[in-house]
Each structure stands twice: as structure tokens, then as C-alpha cells.
């Protein structure tokens, strides 16, 4: 009988790690503290609960997020299986009904003979073999244990959530359904603004009051999750070239491209509520209502959830972690998910897959493996294990992480990167053996 692998945390990364261990025939003890102990953002006791957006980003062939998902699927990803069963229309993106998604994952893991799920807060450092995947909202005791394990170099800072409005409160007389460049189904609701409306909106946005920063908060955000009011402060046109860009969209009422657009994405299959895409914010709640209702289609918007600030915990992986996701200071203990300094649901899940595979190999006395740096998964692993420690910041998958592959122009370079990644991944899979 093999020593069971302890997996701490049943979020996106922990469930993938547990699934991989079971897949390779090593028993798993998975510890999840919810529902008895909740985090500030989770609302349920379900495994793999999505705390914010319901989107797993692009599925469009040739993009970095799509490539990462393709590799994860080839490694038997549990979250992608669950996503396939709970998908909601979202144009070229993979979005899910969050309740069904979490149910699919929870049911699959609880039914897996090799996995035992215990609902308790893990309060000590786990013995090897183990995977620590307690996420951006790691409980205090585990954060302490982590700080001991990696040195006191882990940081705490804050992200921002986007508000959600009810579908019936959106004025469809002033909005229109379409996906950019008509890619996929017309899944987004687009709220257009004229130049005058846009200027008045950005003016109000930059002047609105935000929640005060507390002593222990740092005014530092992931570049992919910068609050909309911070973006607006960077320049009058920043939003129009960022989350409010109108490219690829034509307003059917005018037959023209709007000056600026806020996109709304369905949060659930029934399309009863919409998230404001790219509108993470730290504005006070009454200010969110006042300012976002200046967008004509949202004049009567009912806010089902307001945007908010949240904590993010991650370790300085370049000094603490190997590309296998094993901690340099604790052999046989792997770290996965947002804690490693990747950012995003799928990125977290991908590191969970790698941690699970290697924890299983550790338990079986086999050498570690991980996809080469030419692949999307390998590029992420290379980033977290080798980026300059002094400036290390969480990162989502993007073409900037890949080794250059030559080519002329952006499209051609990206095409080459994708082709090379597929070839490298296929070769790697063939080398690591039949079990994969």
C-alpha cells in the first residue's frame, strides 16, 4: 500500500492535484476547510468554487489561454471535464454555470475510490508527500506555516472584483447582443457610449470615492486585474483602448462602431445575471451604483453583487520552488495554484496537474516530469521558477512568457509559438510514457 498523498485545499489546483494522484494509482487524503471555515470570498462548501468571474478565458485557436487548456485536456484535466458539462455561451471564451461546474467537480472527486475528502481546516505543515494548494485566501495558520517553509518572503496584496447586475434591469433598448468580430454566438450584451457619455462617465469614475486602504493593504494590483477607476486615471482614452474598446462591434441601431462599449457577460446558463467585463473596482458601493448607472443601458441596473477588494497570498516562487512545483526547502512537498504566483483559474488548475503528477511520482519513487518550456504549461512553470525574484509578480498565461520562435509580425510569431508548443508537448507526452 502506497503512502497516501496529503492535498491541502480543494480549490481549482487542489482538485486537479488529487485527480492526477488518483489517476496514477496513489491514494489521496484531500483536506478542504469549507463549509465549516469559509474564506472571505467563497460562499459554498463545494470543491472548486469559482469566487469571481465564471470565465476560463479564450477558447479561440491560436491564443495562449486556448493552448494551455488544450494541454490540460491532454493531461486529463478534471476541471475541463467539468467545464464541458457546465458550459454557458460566451462567444469565443469558455464560461461555465458556476454552480453546476462546482457540482461536477465535487461529485467526481467524492466518487473517486482513491480520494478521501475531509472537511477540516488543516492547521500544520503536511508531511511529504503532499501538495499545498490553499489559494490566494489561505487560512492564517497555513500562511504562517508557509512563511516558515519558504522564509518570510510571501506577500499579501489586493485584487478587485467586478460587479454583477440582474439581466432584467439592463435596458436592451440601449444595448445589443454581439461578440467581437461576430466570433462564436452573440453571447455578450454590449452597452455603447457616445463620446460625450464616455467623457462624463470617465470623469465621474476618476472622481468617485473608493474604499480606504487599510494598514496592511498595499496599493498594488495584478496588471490583469487593475481596478477600472485606476485604469481611468491613467488617461482619458485608457478605458477605450482597454476593457471598453469598441473594436469588432457594430451597433445595429446606428450601423456604426460605438465610441466606447461596456460588455456584459452572462454569469449563469439562464442568463439571469451579467458581470461587467473588466470592471473590477474598489469604489464604495453607492458610488458604484451612481457611476455605473451613467452608462445608458445600465441607468436602472440592479446590482446583485458589488465589486470589492480582496486579498491575494502567493510565495516568491523563483526563490522557493522548482519547476516541478516541489518546494526547494521541503522535499516531497509541492505547492500548486495561485500560491505559486500564477494568476487565474486555469493557470492555477494547470499547476495543480503538474503538482499532482509529481507528487504521485514521488510516492512511486519515480523521477519528476514536467512539460518543456516551449509549451504553455512549461512556459508558466519556467516563469514561476526562474523569473527575477526582486520583481516577481503573479502572471497569467500569455505569449510574452514563451521563448521566441522567430517569424515576421505578431500573428506569424504567435502561430510559430503555437505550432512549436504542440510539437514539443506531443514529443514530451510520448517520452514520459504510456500512462499519460
Binding footprint of ligand FAD on the chain (CB under 6 A): 8-14, 31-34, 39, 41-42, 51-53, 121-122, 133-139, 142, 159, 161, 310, 312, 337-339, 344-345, 348
- Cell numbers that stand for 112 in this block: 473517486
Nearer Cβ to ligand FAD (10/129) = 10
Cβ neighbors of 163 (< 8 A, separation 6 or more) are 275, 276, 279, 281, 288, 292, 303, 305, 306, 307
Nearer Cβ to ligand FAD (11/372) = 11
Nearer Cβ to ligand FAD (33/189) = 33
Residue nearest to ligand FAD (CB): 11
Per DSSP, which regions of 249-289 are E strands?
Answer: 260-266, 273-276
Closest distance of CB 359 from ligand FAD, Å:
15
Phi/psi zone of residue 422: left (φ > 0), alpha (ψ -120 to 50 degrees), beta? Answer: alpha
Closest distance of CB 160 from ligand FAD, Å:
8
Could you tell me the sign of the dihedral formed by the alpha carbons of 200, 201, 202, 205, in that order?
positive
Answer whether 377's CB lies under 8 Å from 336's CB: no
Closest distance of CB 384 from ligand FAD, Å:
13
Nearer Cβ to ligand FAD (370/428) = 370
Closest distance of CB 404 from ligand FAD, Å:
26
Closest distance of CB 400 from ligand FAD, Å:
17
Closest distance of CB 376 from ligand FAD, Å:
15
The CA–CA distances, whole Å, from 87 to 15, 55, 118, 230 equal: 19, 10, 28, 32
Closest distance of CB 235 from ligand FAD, Å:
25
Name the residue with cell 479564450.
58
Which residue, 337, 346, 342, is CA-closest to 66? 346
Sheet holding 164-166, edge to edge: 176-177, 189-193, 260-266, 273-276, 164-166, 303-305
Nearer Cβ to ligand FAD (258/356) = 356
Closest distance of CB 100 from ligand FAD, Å:
17
Nearer Cβ to ligand FAD (33/193) = 33
Nearer Cβ to ligand FAD (269/429) = 269
Cβ neighbors of 313 (< 8 A, separation 6 or more) are 135, 136, 137, 138, 143, 146, 154, 155, 156, 338, 339
Answer whether 414's CB lies under 8 Å from 361's CB: no
> Rounded to the nearest 5°, which phi and psi values hold at 28?
-130, 135
Nearer Cβ to ligand FAD (167/342) = 342
Amino acid at each position: 500500500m502506497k503512502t497516501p498523498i496529503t492535498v491541502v485545499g480543494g480549490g481549482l489546483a487542489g482538485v486537479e492535484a488529487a485527480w492526477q494522484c488518483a489517476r496514477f494509482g496513489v491514494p489521496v487524503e484531500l483536506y478542504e476547510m469549507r463549509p465549516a471555515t469559509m474564506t472571505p470570498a467563497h460562499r459554498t462548501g463545494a470543491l472548486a468554487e469559482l469566487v469571481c468571474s465564471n470565465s476560463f478565458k479564450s477558447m479561440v485557436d491560436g491564443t495562449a489561454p486556448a493552448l494551455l487548456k488544450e494541454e490540460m485536456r491532454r493531461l486529463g484535466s478534471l476541471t475541463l471535464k467539468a467545464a464541458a458539462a457546465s458550459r454557458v455561451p460566451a462567444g469565443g471564451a469558455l464560461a461555465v454555470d458556476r454552480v453546476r461546474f462546482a457540482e461536477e467537480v465535487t461529485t467526481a472527486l467524492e466518487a473517486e475510490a482513491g480520494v478521501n475528502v475531509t472537511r477540516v481546516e488543516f492547521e500544520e505543515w503536511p508531511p511529504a508527500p503532499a501538495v499545498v494548494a490553499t489559494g490566494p485566501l489561505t487560512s492564517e495558520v497555513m500562511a504562517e506555516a508557509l512563511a516558515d517553509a519558504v522564509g518570510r518572503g510571501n506577500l499579501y496584496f489586493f485584487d478587485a472584483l467586478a460587479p454583477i447586475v440582474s439581466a432584467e434591469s439592463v435596458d436592451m433598448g440601449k444595448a445589443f447582443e454581439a461578440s467581437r468580430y461576430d466570433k462564436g454566438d452573440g453571447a455578450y450584451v454590449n452597452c455603447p457610449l457616445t463620446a460625450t457619455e464616455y467623457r462624463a462617465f470617465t470623469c465621474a469614475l476618476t472622481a468617485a470615492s473608493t474604499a480606504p486602504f487599510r494598514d496592511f493593504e498595499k496599493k498594488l494590483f495584478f496588471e490583469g486585474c487593475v481596478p477600472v477607476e485606476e485604469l481611468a486615471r491613467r488617461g482619458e482614452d485608457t478605458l477605450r483602448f482597454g476593457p471598453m474598446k469598441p473594436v469588432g462591434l457594430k451597433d445595429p441601431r446606428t450601423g456604426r462602431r460605438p465610441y466606447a462599449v461596456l460588455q456584459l457577460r452572462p454569469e449563469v446558463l439562464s442568463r439571469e445575471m451579467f458581470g461587467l467585463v473588466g470592471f473590477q473596482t474598489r469604489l464604495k458601493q453607492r458610488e458604484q451604483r451612481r457611476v455605473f448607472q451613467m452608462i445608458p443601458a445600465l441607468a436602472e441596473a440592479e446590482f446583485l453583487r458589488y465589486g470589492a477588494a480582496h486579498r491575494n497570498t502567493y510565495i516568491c516562487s523563483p526563490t522557493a520552488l522548482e519547476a516541478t512545483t516541489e518546494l526547494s526547502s521541503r522535499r516531497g512537498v509541492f505547492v500548486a495554484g495561485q500560491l505559486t504566483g500564477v494568476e487565474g483559474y486555469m493557470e492555477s488548475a494547470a499547476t495543480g496537474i503538474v503538482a499532482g503528477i509529481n507528487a504521485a511520482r514521488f510516492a512511486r519513487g519515480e523521477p519528476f516530469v514536467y512539460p518543456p518550456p516551449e509549451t504553455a504549461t512549461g512556459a508558466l512553470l519556467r516563469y514561476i521558477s526562474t523569473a527575477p525574484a526582486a520583481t516577481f509578480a503573479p502572471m497569467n498565461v500569455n505569449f510574452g512568457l514563451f521563448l521566441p520562435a522567430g517569424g515576421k509580425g505578431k500573428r506569424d510569431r504567435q502561430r510559430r509559438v503555437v505550432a512549436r508548443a504542440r510539437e514539443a508537448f506531443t514529443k514530451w507526452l510520448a517520452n514520459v510514457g504510456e500512462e499519460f
